[in-house]
Structure formats: C-alpha cells, structure tokens
C-alpha cells in the first residue's frame, strides 16, 4: 500500500511541477480576497485496508501573493467522521494561472459516538485557474492524530476541488 501511495505522490508532484514549467511566467498584481471551494477526496489510512472517500467545503481569505488563511469542514463516507481545521497557506510558485502552495494547521476530528480529537496536517497543492475566478485545486495532505506522528495514526488525503475567487 505504501509503495502505491509513494508512486502516486511522486507522479502527482512531477505533474504539478511540469505544468508549472510549461506555463509562461507572468508578473501578477497583488492578489487579495475571499475564496470558496467544494472538494472530494480519496482517503488512505495507516492500516493498509483503510480506504474511503470524503467530501467537503473550504473557505479562505488571501492577504497577498504569499499568505492566506482558510478553514475547511469535511465528512468521510463509511466511518461517520467529520474533520475541521483552520489552516495557514503559503504560495511559493506563481505562473500564469497556476500557483503551488504549502498548507499546515491543527484541526479536530469527530467520530460518531466519540470525543473530538486533535489532528495535525500538512500538505501541498495547486490552484489551476480555469478563468480569472474559477479554479481547479488538486491537493495532497497528510493527517496525524495528536498522540504521535506514527504511521498507525496517520492518513493521506488526495483531493480535487473546484473553487471560486470573489
């Protein structure tokens, strides 16, 4: 299972990098304002047999060409769990209608019948502008329960979202 995740992550990173290089670099004016997107994700857990899908919403505010804050709420199918987080996002690659970013934050996971638990996450993603306001957002995030950064307590989310900049 882990080799497949590594191959998929490497392929995803190579695809995003080549797309960024293929796009002509362009000077951008200051980017500010709110955004909102819907997403779906494939979730793989620490145990090789854990796989599920999730869906959710994200809303954020971009302060400049580098920094943004966002919050998200998602629900996993089959496990009846909810994830919520408030993240810091840093854009590090800018090209014409293409940007890559890193995201990290604490959050909460709530499984039905249990108390909420603290989770930590970090990830990489891209925003690919389809129009001046509409964008496609592929992303990979690792999530860990707060009781240690162990493989058993982790999961990886591969998501694809569609968003709107206001």
| CATH T-level fold of 2-165 | Porin (2.40.160)
Tokens of 48: 């090789």
In this predicted structure, which of 2-6, 58-62, 80-84, 154-158 has the lowest mean pLDDT?
A: 2-6
Tokens of 60: 């954020």
Domain residue ranges of the chain, discontinuous segments joined by +: 2-165
Global pTM value: 0.76
pLDDT by residue (tens digit) across 97-142?
Answer: 999 999 999 999 888 888 888 989 999 999 999 999 999 999 999 8
Three-state secondary structure of 102-121: EEEEEEEEEECCCCCEEEEE
pLDDT by residue (tens digit) across 50-106?
Answer: 778 899 999 999 999 999 999 999 998 877 788 899 999 999 999 989 999 999 999
């Amino acid at each position: 299972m882990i080799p497949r995740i590594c191959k998929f992550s490497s392929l995803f990173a190579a695809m995003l990098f080549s797309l960024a290089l293929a796009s002509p670099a362009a000077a951008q004016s200051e980017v500010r304002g709110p955004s909102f997107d819907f997403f779906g994700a494939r979730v793989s857990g620490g145990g090789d047999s854990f796989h599920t899908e999730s869906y959710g919403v994200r809303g954020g505010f971009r302060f400049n060409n580098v920094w943004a804050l966002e919050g998200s709420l998602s629900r996993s199918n089959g496990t009846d769990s909810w994830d919520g987080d408030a993240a810091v996002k840093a854009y590090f690659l800018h090209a014409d209608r293409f940007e890559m970013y890193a995201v990290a934050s604490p959050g909460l996971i709530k499984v039905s019948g249990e108390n909420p638990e603290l989770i930590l996450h970090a990830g990489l993603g891209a925003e690919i502008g389809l129009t001046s306001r509409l964008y496609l957002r592929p992303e990979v995030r690792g999530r860990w329960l707060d009781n240690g950064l162990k493989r058993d307590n982790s999961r990886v989310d591969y998501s694809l979202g569609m968003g709107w900049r206001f």
